[in-house]
Structure 1
Amino acid sequence: MSWCAVGVARRTRRSFAASPLLQCRRLAAGEQTHGDLLDLCRRRNFLLGGQTTPPSVLGGGHGLGPLGAQMKRNLLQKWWEATALRRDQVLPIDSLCHRPGTSDPPSPRPTIRTAPKSWLDRNTTREELEKMADLRQDLLHGALYNYLPCLELLNRKLPFGIAEVGRCFRPITDFAQVPSRFSVADHHDDAGRKISIIRYDFPWGEEPIERISSMDDSALTQVHHGPINSLQGRDGRKSVVPHAVWLSSDVERGLLAYLSDAMQVMESPAPQDQRRTVLKIHPLLTPVKVAVDMGRGRAAELRLVCTRFQVCEGLCGELRGCGISVWPGYLETLQTRMEQLYTKYDEMGVLFTALVSDATLESGLIQLRSRDTTIKDTMHVSKLSAFLTQHMTAADNL
């Protein structure tokens, strides 16, 4: 899965804001191995499948589990808001995954000529194989091909952008074993165009995350073979065929970068535990904002108390109604120590843990534990949704 933003720019030098992935901060203070990160992702269901290794993860051998799928959705949503919804003259599109027929203009970039192995393992018809032959490797062709409708929609005024999120099919690249955090290197593609590749330092080495390419007007003229005048837009008083700036990101690798960035190994407050692993994911990206659980009370039959169960159920419904993702921990029947429960939620990246106890039934007070500080505060149950909404709003303004 990739996202793409193509900016059709004037023929002058312009400065572009740093991309969303490049703006993320590295939170981890200590070193980590790829085994620590990938084992945590598998154990807490960010990734699905068996044994996780860098080649199997980057090669598409693992799907996303419930937490990984929700975090990916959050990441795409924030990118879409920042790129398409909060900017003028950035138009969203949803192009085809393959070139629709021989009547279309030739692509300026080669398309992949082999189908994924998982597709060939099943009984595939000749017709399906022919459709697989022209699967896109990137989103650039779709953006350039839909340039004319976007130009007409904006009354041929330059500059403007085209944004898209979609799945691409490309070969697996080799690993680069050069340690650093973020690095940017300039290269030239097969067409001689200068591209900047942004890499992120994973525990196993550097991997490409984003690429930015500056292209002249040939990017459009190679796709559209009609009159050159039809490609011209208005740049002030001049009519020109614009240049293009293409930014493309790999969503799955971006997701791994955020998880690697968020992983911290800290001293545990419990004497018997040597260390505590926490995923300090950004509040807007973390898949679960709050876990609702029941405190350990006076008797073993605490979870069987119908009133407490109803309070937890009602609290979860209220929070979901406010758009806050909730983990219903109160449904778990296996008794665990509170520190083990906190360890589980910390490794899941859960921001807060709300505990419903005897005091909740008597006075409406709940205990709210923070993932980042481990501080436990007490507040009235009626104020929880407002507190979390305010916390999310503040995080969005950072």
Structure 2
Amino acid sequence: MLPIMLTCCVRNVLSRRLSRLKASQCSLTPTLQYTRRHCSTSSTEDVDLVRTLMQLCVDRYYISPGQTNVDLFRRGMSCRYGPLGMELRRNLLDQWWHAVTRSTVQVFGINTLSSSEDTATDGRGQLRIVESEHVKQILEQQDLSKEQLVQEVRQLLQRSPSMRTNFLQGALEEFVPSLELVNRKLPFGLAETGLCFQPSDGSGCPAELTQTSLVWFCSPRTSSQWLDHWTRQRLKWWRKFALSPSDFSSSDVPKEELEETVSRGVRITYNFPWGQEPLEELWSRGNTELLQTHKGVRSKLQCRDGRKSVPCVVSVTGNMDRGVMAFLSNSLQQVKKEHGKQKLQQRKVLKLHPVLAPVKVALDIGRGATMELRQVCEGLLQEFMEAKISAWPGYLKSLPTVEQLNAKYDEMGVLFTVVISENTLESGLIQVRSRDTTIKETMHISEIKNFLSRYISAADNI
């Protein structure tokens, strides 16, 4: 008995059931609609770039194959990630968490649950979960009239838990206990990450997305300054990991697009080949929603700021699935080069930031592989794992040529390739190739772990 989300999918079934009763279609709890942005690519070059990027993501283990899965990823929704895509998303979330919680002392991590009630909307416009068997049982009751059928479904909806579309409500509920933690002093923030549901386009079947949330509580007189502060911090963070930082930008949200409780908004966007898409949204929300959550009891919301005022809320909400796609798009380079007597070739490489790259180093064996060389690779792989340096065991499977091997790792975004050869057994020397420069250099095997650690640390501190 599997849980399902009751959206347009169920409404379609109800429509058919009601038609047999010779009644018009019943209007059930409305769901928010996701406006799908279609590709507005203006040139063949951009179309080819998008196609190349998506195919590379599939071929190099970032996302699983299948047109539906590719479409989800393209739309910035959570999809079936491959091993490298999962690692990239994890690295991105780790960096977001460290940047937000370490940027100021007063940011705390929380973990909230989806609520069966929504104090801000009174339950209207929500996604809810019901068991398919319960829906089936209602629809199979042939003796029910139209009104009885509608009543049964409404009661089922009221009993069913809602699906979370963001983390704001949970943070607002956590404000009072957190206020005691900080001795009732402002400002402070609550951070959370995880999966949320968003209604999709006309299909009516919601999709997941990996969302980040920072809810910042501050004095009303400083809320505008804090919105500016977090806008600068977040834009700087996105650009830090970018190969082309200018593709990330921020802009104020037009007043006509603001919700009733929001006084000002800012969007951080990425310029994809098909147009700009939002990565993070920052809102100055005032204190209306906070008061609604706590039933208007101002006394327990007041802080020690000398004014006995209710704090204002600044929310920062990000879509990390779209962030993953943005960095993959931003890092893809196609470099044309002459290769010996062959024709002009195109080298595709994912120049992901060293901190984000899913694989830092690949281990391979040169010609004349022996059992001793494999043992050296296994020992070196264990050292990397202990140092928390992600490594790819390429020595387990060899490609026909070095050029093919390098092309594969470049497309995977691997920072360095290490080749263990017979010379390693004699002198301890290994060959190290850089993804970004393609330069090969020789170093002692005892130096490689510290070299990688210093390289990644230096890139993180820039």
Interval of TM-score (by shorter of Structure 1 and Structure 2): 0.7 to 0.9
- Deviations 1:200-235 (CA, angstroms, capped at 9, x unpaired): 221232222111100112121011115211001122
Task: Give the aligned partner of residue 309 of structure 1.
Answer: 374
Following TM superposition, by how much is the alpha carbon of 1:84 offset from its aligned partner in structure 2, in angstroms? 1.1
Following TM superposition, by how much is the alpha carbon of 1:110 offset from its aligned partner in structure 2, in angstroms? 6.6
Alpha carbons 1:112, 1:135 under 8 Å: kept? no
Given candidates 417, 423, 428, the residue that maps to 1:359 is 423
Task: Give the aligned partner of residue 243 of structure 2.
Answer: none
Partner letter of residue 184 of structure 1?
A: S
Q: Measure the CA separation in 1 of the matches of 2:447 and 2:122.
A: 55
- Deviations 1:173-224 (CA, angstroms, capped at 9, x unpaired): 69xxxxx763524133332523222222212322221111001121210111
Task: Give the aligned partner of residue 243 of structure 1.
Answer: 312
Given candidates 169, 173, 177, the residue that maps to 1:145 is 173
| Correspondence list, 1:230-269, <5 A | 230-235=300-305, 237-268=306-337
Task: Give the aligned partner of residue 25 of structure 1.
Answer: none
| Correspondence list, 1:1-398, <5 A | 33-51=49-67, 55-57=71-73, 58=75, 60=77, 62-96=79-113, 98-99=114-115, 101=116, 106-107=119-120, 113-114=126-127, 123=132, 134-172=162-200, 182=249, 184-187=251-254, 188-191=257-260, 193=262, 194-225=264-295, 227-235=297-305, 237-268=306-337, 270-271=339-340, 272=342, 274-295=345-366, 297=367, 302-303=368-369, 305-332=370-397, 334-398=398-462
TM-score by length of 1: 0.80
Secondary structure of the 1:347 match is helix
Query: Structure 1: any 5+ residue segments left out of the alignment?
Result: 1-29, 175-179
Secondary structure of the 1:261 match is helix
Following TM superposition, by how much is the alpha carbon of 1:267 offset from its aligned partner in structure 2, in angstroms? 2.3
Task: Pick closer, same or farther for the CA change 1:181–1:228 going to 2, 3 Å.
Answer: closer
Task: Pick closer, same or farther for the CA change 1:202–1:130 going to 2, 3 Å.
Answer: farther
Alpha carbons 1:283, 1:392 under 8 Å: kept? yes
Partner letter of residue 47 of structure 1?
A: I
Q: Measure the CA separation in 1 of the matches of 2:126 and 2:288.
A: 24
Partner letter of residue 77 of structure 1?
A: D
Task: Pick closer, same or farther for the CA change 1:217–1:291 going to 2, 3 Å.
Answer: same
Alpha carbons 2:76, 2:319 under 8 Å: kept? no
Alpha carbons 1:368, 1:376 under 8 Å: kept? yes
- Deviations 1:293-330 (CA, angstroms, capped at 9, x unpaired): 112x2xxxx33x10000000000001111110000000
Q: Measure the CA separation in 2 of the matches of 1:59 and 1:38.
A: 13
Task: Give the aligned partner of residue 37 of structure 2.
Answer: none
Partner letter of residue 264 of structure 1?
A: Q
Secondary structure of the 1:184 match is strand
Task: Pick closer, same or farther for the CA change 1:159–1:173 going to 2, 3 Å.
Answer: farther
Alpha carbons 1:109, 1:141 under 8 Å: kept? no
Q: Measure the CA separation in 2 of the matches of 1:158 and 1:139.
A: 21
Alpha carbons 2:78, 2:321 under 8 Å: kept? no
Secondary structure of the 1:222 match is helix
Identity of aligned residues (%): 41
Secondary structure of the 1:33 match is helix
Q: Measure the CA separation in 2 of the matches of 1:225 and 1:393.
A: 48
Q: Measure the CA separation in 2 of the matches of 1:278 and 1:338.
A: 16
Alpha carbons 2:261, 2:286 under 8 Å: kept? no
Query: Structure 2: any 5+ residue segments left out of the alignment?
Result: 1-44, 136-154, 203-246
Higher relative contact order (CA 8 A, sep 6+): 1
Task: Pick closer, same or farther for the CA change 1:79–1:160 going to 2, 3 Å.
Answer: same
Deviates more, 1:245-254 or 1:131-140: 131-140
Partner letter of residue 378 of structure 1?
A: T
- Deviations 1:58-90 (CA, angstroms, capped at 9, x unpaired): 274831110000010001111111111452000
Partner letter of residue 318 of structure 1?
A: E
TM-score by length of 2: 0.70
- Deviations 1:35-70 (CA, angstroms, capped at 9, x unpaired): 111111111110113136874322748311100000
Task: Pick closer, same or farther for the CA change 1:380–1:124 going to 2, 3 Å.
Answer: farther
- Deviations 1:263-303 (CA, angstroms, capped at 9, x unpaired): 111124634361101100000001000001112x2xxxx33
Secondary structure of the 2:56 match is helix
Secondary structure of the 2:198 match is coil
Alpha carbons 1:112, 1:134 under 8 Å: kept? no
Q: Measure the CA separation in 2 of the matches of 1:360 and 1:63.
A: 40
- Deviations 1:120-148 (CA, angstroms, capped at 9, x unpaired): 9x955569977765111111111111111
Following TM superposition, by how much is the alpha carbon of 1:338 offset from its aligned partner in structure 2, in angstroms? 0.4
Following TM superposition, by how much is the alpha carbon of 1:113 offset from its aligned partner in structure 2, in angstroms? 3.3
Q: Measure the CA separation in 2 of the matches of 1:371 and 1:54.
A: 26
Q: Rg bigger for which structure?
A: 2
Alpha carbons 2:76, 2:321 under 8 Å: kept? no
Alpha carbons 2:302, 2:311 under 8 Å: kept? yes
Q: Measure the CA separation in 1 of the matches of 2:416 and 2:170.
A: 42
Task: Pick closer, same or farther for the CA change 1:232–1:64 going to 2, 3 Å.
Answer: same
Q: Measure the CA separation in 2 of the matches of 1:191 and 1:375.
A: 57
Task: Pick closer, same or farther for the CA change 1:316–1:255 going to 2, 3 Å.
Answer: same
Task: Pick closer, same or farther for the CA change 1:52–1:277 going to 2, 3 Å.
Answer: farther
Following TM superposition, by how much is the alpha carbon of 1:107 offset from its aligned partner in structure 2, in angstroms? 3.0
Alpha carbons 2:76, 2:325 under 8 Å: kept? no
